[in-house]
Chain A
Amino acid sequence: MNIVVCIKQVPDTNDVRIDPKTNTLIREGVKSIINPFDENAVEAALRLRDAGGGKVTVITMGPPQAADALKTAIAMGADEAVLISDRAFAGADTWATSYTLSQAIKKIGAYDLVLFGKQAIDGDTAQVGPGVAEFLDIPQITFAISIESEGGKIRVKRQLEDTSEIVEAALPAAVTVIKQINEPRLPSLKGQMRAKKMVIPSWSAKDIAADENNTGLNGSPTKVVRIFTPPPRGKSELLEGEPETIAKTLFDKLKEQKVI
């Protein structure tokens, strides 16, 4: 089975701390990582390949430094990688990103499965997987907690709010995965050597025959008009005293505000 995994490089929020005085993000020294859910997608792809043969190709759209995320996936064991990078892609929203990735996947050609993490931890939209599926005109299965492949079909368990469901689809298909699907492996030493040596091809808008009306800022229906730090929550009140006194005070306050 030939699998394409779409990944994104994101800032490591584990590194992010809040400045208690200004209540804003401390961004200094925040390193870039592969989106954690995408690591699960890479792991899922590697397991399917190891069980049934085929090839895993990882792709990402981003600036040149996003190649580092691809190298992480190669070090984990992916076979090939492609960076999709062009200034024409700058400022893309999820619509334009989905279009661009789908053009690259069309160029890759023979694929059976396209995998994604359920969402990226910087944007948290969960919109790109379904978008790519639509542009490729293949079925989408989101929020997967398991994927089994058999005879040209996949059987996927989806984890929803308070239920789960089993669905089946013929390949090719697109699947987005949640964290609980697996435990991503660490890059092996051999993999790291391979990643270090690998020259990752970079495809431009022209290479993937992308229509510039559909890429980057030009192709994006949405526009960000304002970015701001959330207003601080109302004043915090410290409740003090013996546990029973605190409990009584809290009860009165919650009762007064009709929350209990």
Chain B
Amino acid sequence: MPEGIRVIAEKCKGCRLCVPSCPYGAIEMHGKLAVINDKCVLCGACVGPCKFNAIEITVAKKEGPKKDLSGFKGIWVFAEQHQGKVQGVALELIAEARKLAADLKEEVAAVLLGDADIKKASQELIHCGADKVYVCADPKLKSYTTEPYCDTIVELIKAYKPEIVLMGATTTGRDLASRIAARIRVGLTADCTGLDIDPEKKILRQTRPAFGGNIMATIISPDFRPQMATVRPKVFKKLQPDASRKGRIIEFPAKISEKSLRVKLLEIIQSTEKKVNLAEAEIIVSGGRGLGCAENFKLVKDLADVIGGAVGASRATVDAGWISQFHQVGQTGKTVSPKLYIACGISGAIQHLAGMSSSDIIVAVNKDQFAPIFNVATYGIVGDLFEVLPAMTKTFKELLS
């Protein structure tokens, strides 16, 4: 057993609960005793799942004086905006925050940063469920850069003490949340796909996929406030805007130190290809190696066009140069969860599944009936995609017109 962790033999009941909890396969059963082998990296993932407290990280656990956390109230959502337009994930998070707020009997606030024009976006946030909008308007906040945004939000947190802060698990959300959490010493859970409130302890339970989506972990930050999480886009549904909803707008001055301007944004480059923001797409049609060559991606594009979907791709097709990397779905590409994902000629390697298995409905077309993609498919079609795809495109086109 590696140093730093131990199984307390008297407490271990041999229930095996810890075995699947280890992402590294480092726990073996020796009869009725769990034994940790040297694959262990001391990640601590097995400690919580053991119902008998039989596994301990053998570092003296120091219990400091409990901090008073009662002053922290309210659920905040970072209203990520690009060129003045609030991103969909922010509205989705406001909707989810409303549910959490109902359990906690607290308010939902949106945090909106931008230049002077940004105030206009406040009403949309209120109509979609925010009780309050904190607006920080400053020319230096027009486009996102890490430290000016971090400085301002940290000051806002210090001033108003929220209990929970949520951001989209976008490039911006991940960049910003990480810096804030490090600065104010709070817990941050990345890329959550589930949030709920522990009914007894009234703390936020954050559930996220780990290990390429093969394991789910529920994480808490019991002793630090605010509790912070980034949340995967498209997991929650935004509310229908209600123009009669009223809310308060609270203006807050940006507080940016001179030092924080040390990264200069020189240029924003729009993609030259048709926009492929897969993370925000409601429908994705993806092609894999089964297409055979670059030209056959046309079959995928045709179907996508008919149903208003974006085009995705497996890693194999990107590596083969059939389509640009911006279309890649999977662990080394984009993580998506659209309403509908149609996988064409994709076998379903574990890395691909990690990027799309949280989609609502998955349709798989593959000629190999044993392809792993069928394990996650809502509707499986075992067949030749060169027959099935054109038939789908033609039929869908007729029926939609």
Given contacts A89-B42, A162-B326, A247-B391, 20 further A-B contacts (CB under 8 A): A11-B211, A13-B331, A20-B375, A91-B43, A93-B187, A122-B23, A127-B174, A134-B183, A139-B263, A140-B179, A143-B171, A170-B262, A179-B332, A222-B221, A224-B45, A229-B216, A236-B377, A239-B379, A247-B396, A251-B395
Q: Could you say which residues of chain B place their CB within 8 Å of the CB of A134?
A: 178-179, 182-183
A17-B350, A63-B42, A98-B182 known; A218-B388 Cβ under 8 A: no
Q: Could you say which residues of chain B place their CB within 8 Å of the CB of A221?
A: 181, 185-188, 221, 223-224
Q: Flag A53-94 by CB within 8 Å of B: 1 or 0 each.
A: 000000000110110000000000000000000011111011
Contact B190 A165, beta carbon cutoff 8 Å: no
Q: Flag A221-258 by CB within 8 Å of B: 1 or 0 each.
A: 11111111110011011111001101110110111010
Does A193 interact with chain B (Cβ within 8 Å)?
Answer: no
* Top 4 A-B pairs, shortest CB-CB distance: A27-B25, A221-B187, A91-B44, A243-B391
Closest partner residue, chain B, to A64 (CB atom): B2
Does B302 interact with chain A (Cβ within 8 Å)?
Answer: no
Q: Could you say which residues of chain A place their CB within 8 Å of the CB of B340?
A: 254, 259-260
Q: Could you say which residues of chain A place their CB within 8 Å of the CB of B388?
A: 243, 246-247
The CA-CA distance from A128 to B57 in the complex, in Å, is: 22
Using a CB–CB cutoff of 8 Å, the interface residues on chain A facing chain B are 9, 11, 13-14, 16-18, 20, 23-25, 27-28, 30, 32, 36-37, 62-63, 65-66, 87-91, 93-95, 98, 121-131, 133-135, 139-143, 155, 158-170, 173, 179-180, 212-213, 216-218, 220-230, 233-234, 236-240, 243-244, 246-248, 250-251, 253-255, 257, 259-260
Min C-beta distance of B231 to chain A, whole Å: 13
Closest partner residue, chain A, to B396 (CB atom): A251
16 pairs, A vs B, C-beta closer than 8 Å: A87-B59, A91-B59, A121-B331, A124-B190, A129-B178, A142-B146, A169-B264, A218-B59, A221-B221, A226-B48, A227-B21, A233-B357, A233-B362, A246-B392, A251-B399, A260-B307
Q: Could you say which residues of chain B place their CB within 8 Å of the CB of A141?
A: 263
The CA-CA distance from A31 to B159 in the complex, in Å, is: 49
Q: Could you say which residues of chain A place their CB within 8 Å of the CB of B294?
A: none
Contact A239 B380, beta carbon cutoff 8 Å: yes
Contact B172 A244, beta carbon cutoff 8 Å: no
Residue among A62, A213, A248 facing the most chain B CB atoms (10 A cut-off): A248
- The stretch that binds A, out of B8-16, B115-123, B125-133, B275-283, is B275-283
Q: Could you say which residues of chain A place their CB within 8 Å of the CB of B175?
A: 130, 140, 142-143
User: What bracket does the count of chain B residues touching chain A fall in?
Assistant: 35 or more
Contact A130 B182, beta carbon cutoff 8 Å: yes
Q: Could you say which residues of chain B place their CB within 8 Å of the CB of A244?
A: 391, 395
Q: Could you say which residues of chain A place their CB within 8 Å of the CB of B48?
A: 223-227
Does B246 interact with chain A (Cβ within 8 Å)?
Answer: no
Contact B49 A227, beta carbon cutoff 8 Å: yes
A141-B263, A227-B45 known; A125-B191 Cβ under 8 A: yes
Question: Which of A20, A98, A124, A222 is within 8 Å of B187, CB to CB?
Answer: A222
Q: Could you say which residues of chain B place their CB within 8 Å of the CB of A257?
A: 361
- The stretch that binds A, out of B93-101, B103-111, B265-273, is B265-273
Closest partner residue, chain A, to B349 (CB atom): A14
Contact B212 A223, beta carbon cutoff 8 Å: no
A-B contact count (CB 8 A): 328
Does B20 interact with chain A (Cβ within 8 Å)?
Answer: yes
Does B140 interact with chain A (Cβ within 8 Å)?
Answer: no
A163-B268, A212-B62, A251-B399 known; A239-B263 Cβ under 8 A: no
Question: Which of A27, A165, A225 is within 8 Å of B220, CB to CB?
Answer: A225
A229-B215, A236-B378 known; A161-B280 Cβ under 8 A: yes
Question: Which of A17, A20, A240, A247 is within 8 Å of B392, CB to CB?
Answer: A247
Contact A224 B182, beta carbon cutoff 8 Å: no
A162-B271, A224-B45, A236-B374 known; A167-B263 Cβ under 8 A: yes
Q: Could you say which residues of chain A place their CB within 8 Å of the CB of B325?
A: 180
Contact A247 B395, beta carbon cutoff 8 Å: yes
Contact B262 A18, beta carbon cutoff 8 Å: no
Min C-beta distance of B61 to chain A, whole Å: 6
Does B213 interact with chain A (Cβ within 8 Å)?
Answer: yes
Question: Which of A16, A65, A243 is within 8 Å of B212, CB to CB?
Answer: A16
List B154-176 residues whose CB lies under 8 Å from chain A: 170-172, 174-175
Min C-beta distance of A91 to chain B, whole Å: 3
Q: Could you say which residues of chain B place their CB within 8 Å of the CB of A88?
A: 59
Min C-beta distance of A49 to chain B, whole Å: 23
Q: Flag B324-355 by CB within 8 Å of A: 1 or 0 each.
A: 01100001100000011000000000110100
The CA-CA distance from A183 to B374 in the complex, in Å, is: 32
